Structure 1
């Protein structure tokens, strides 16, 4: 059986929270650091260039929120690593892209496919939900090695709502929910506006949204924070609202629910966005065009109120595998593997998140909570 993702619960000052995080899972933090340092190695990034690039991002992170840099410093000390290694984990998308530009190495189609942090996500609104609450879910598609680097992190905060996030060890945020009932998930997009400006690392934009007491402020964080590259982020709150933002670096395009659902994969769907920019993600995510169609179709089939198990069933879909919603490990053109590394289901009204590692190979979920300890969930049929 595939082991569940480790659960780490932290509290205290930003530095102390980070130190607890790093000390709890030092091996996973080190694996994360090695994994992303390896991406720079493959680009031929020299140590001096690497240090200058990370220092540039360090200054940007401090300007966005100094407490984030303190938390990263704590993670570094707890895991016995340099602060640079933790900054690399949290800004890995942007740092690798900037290193590629400095090396004057355009990305080829094979590399693009393997670098695409894919994903298929959905939100079920209360009018379609059997519980009368929001249900949000996501398949995180990335490289299978990251099944050994991810964790579920609970952060007890004195200055805002507690939060629960599925994240790579050493990271501050990715997919998750908070005690105010706000959920955030996200997935990969590309456009012709990418890497033309400086921006806040996407992981920290998601973390900022998860720290908010009010959905309006979470929306502001997602929609108005400058970014270096495109992304898609889904936001919901258990009071019964959800919205998707297709984000270019300098502009955000809202996508509203249809028939009580939002479904999104890795291509742009906003008419306003498509009128103003060019979707450049086709080479890495051609299957996106039927993945979101499949999930919506499967959620519409029951003709009854939907449950968390219905969303799991849709995200387990293997139509046209291995280029499917739920992806088994498969080699790309350059030999690296890609897969659905985790399936994440969130019910904010219940304060729970269920996560299964490598869902194409394993259907055992663990239930994580804002309030209690992790528990195993019956294996999905």
Structure 2
């Protein structure tokens, strides 16, 4: 089977110019991506007994209004993407930020419930599998790194149909740092590295208290303009976030992660290896989790823990860890044919000191790895 290819598209100019170029280059893909994402959202909500699709559709508009006040450049770029692709801006924003916006409906802040004018969603008769999504983040510093350099990366695991829409961008803004990003067609940045050597990414968690606010992709997109990991962490921790996620941030001097609910952020700094999957590690957050930790999330965390602490690591050994299938359907490397409702759709590894990003579309052993540098 031929290896999956990862497209790289150059975007340059003002936010509006970059957005227009993005939308025009990928218009057909963007419309198809939004269509399949919104179908997936409908299934997800109905599995949880929610049929108020109008309320869900309105969330994109309301969060987009918040974005305009918080990050006008991001708002301008998003609207230009939508215009270039010929799709409504609020519909696209809803599709892009699916994981956060569905949490606003299924795990709401009671003061902002959007389902049925304040009624809480009822639990489904048969709960859907929690394994149906993922991501495994792995960061090494100091003695955990074979070269002594910070190395940070992750798998990105979500809906198998998203694989068709994964793309890399070489972002060359008229103002602000150049950056390489990996995301889906039509979306803000998901994982990336900027020319200052700031790298970042995310894993999903589900915690009650989600609300109308700034969704995760817009947080990452804005944080990628930072000059240091401290500045990027302040952008994310200080924002009025819509929902829970974890965020990892690295630069040449170190690495950290943030376990965030909509209104609380807890930081861990790397001392050797730092890793994360899809359940909360903070006690106060665990008590508010919307679903118990899945077998997949627990198994992946244990696998990454054991691997990262067994030996010093390099880019190549982390690629091998990302390709690991030792735990079958609960492995770090997730295949669509596992029938878990998810797949590994991209893998990314950053070496901030070298200003170097390694990335592939699909899982680590099915995608062709590319190396992006600022030289």
TM-score range for the pair, normalised by the shorter chain length: 0.7 to 0.9
CA contact (8 A) 1:122 1:137 kept: yes
Corresponding residue number in structure 1 for 2:296: 287
| 2:140 corresponds to which of 124, 132, 138 | 124
2:172 is aligned with 1:156: yes
Q: Distance in 2 between matches of 1:250 and 1:120?
A: 23
Corresponding residue number in structure 1 for 2:93: 87
Q: Distance in 2 between matches of 1:212 and 1:190?
A: 27
2:225 is aligned with 1:218: no
SS of aligned partner of 1:225: coil
Corresponding residue number in structure 1 for 2:223: 209
Q: What is the deviation of 1:242?
A: 0.8
In the TM superposition, 1:123-142 aligns within 5 A as 123-142=139-158
Corresponding residue number in structure 1 for 2:59: 53
CA contact (8 A) 1:33 1:89 kept: yes
2:336 is aligned with 1:321: no
CA contact (8 A) 1:160 1:213 kept: no
Q: What is the deviation of 1:280?
A: 2.4
Corresponding residue number in structure 2 for 1:377: none
Corresponding residue number in structure 2 for 1:355: 359
Over 3 Å counting, the alpha-carbon distance change for 1:68 and 1:276 in structure 2 is closer
Q: Distance in 1 between matches of 2:123 and 2:346?
A: 26
2:151 is aligned with 1:147: no
Q: What is the deviation of 1:90?
A: 3.3
Corresponding residue number in structure 1 for 2:190: 174
Corresponding residue number in structure 1 for 2:209: 194
Over 3 Å counting, the alpha-carbon distance change for 1:276 and 1:344 in structure 2 is closer
In the TM superposition, 1:275-314 aligns within 5 A as 275=284, 277-278=286-287, 280=289, 283=292, 285-302=294-311, 305-314=312-321
Per-residue CA deviation, residues 111-141 of structure 1 (Å, 9 max, x unaligned), is: 362653x111111114432333211110111
Per-residue CA deviation, residues 31-82 of structure 1 (Å, 9 max, x unaligned), is: 2211222134445767754554332122111111122121111111222222
CA contact (8 A) 1:295 1:315 kept: no
Q: Distance in 2 between matches of 1:3 and 1:26?
A: 21
Q: Distance in 2 between matches of 1:290 and 1:342?
A: 20
CA contact (8 A) 2:4 2:366 kept: no
CA contact (8 A) 2:323 2:365 kept: no
SS of aligned partner of 2:137: strand
How many residues are matched?
A: 358
Q: Distance in 2 between matches of 1:275 and 1:51?
A: 31
Over 3 Å counting, the alpha-carbon distance change for 1:26 and 1:58 in structure 2 is same
Corresponding residue number in structure 2 for 1:337: 341
TM-score, with structure 1 as normaliser? 0.85
Over 3 Å counting, the alpha-carbon distance change for 1:151 and 1:284 in structure 2 is farther
Unaligned runs of 5+ residues in structure 2 are: 107-113
CA contact (8 A) 2:196 2:228 kept: yes
In the TM superposition, 1:230-241 aligns within 5 A as 230-238=244-252, 240-241=253-254
SS of aligned partner of 2:33: helix
Q: What is the deviation of 1:299?
A: 2.6
CA contact (8 A) 1:33 1:86 kept: yes
Q: Distance in 2 between matches of 1:327 and 1:115?
A: 10
CA RMSD of aligned residues (A): 2.5
Unaligned runs of 5+ residues in structure 1 are: 372-381
Corresponding residue number in structure 2 for 1:265: 277
Corresponding residue number in structure 2 for 1:378: none
Over 3 Å counting, the alpha-carbon distance change for 1:46 and 1:257 in structure 2 is closer
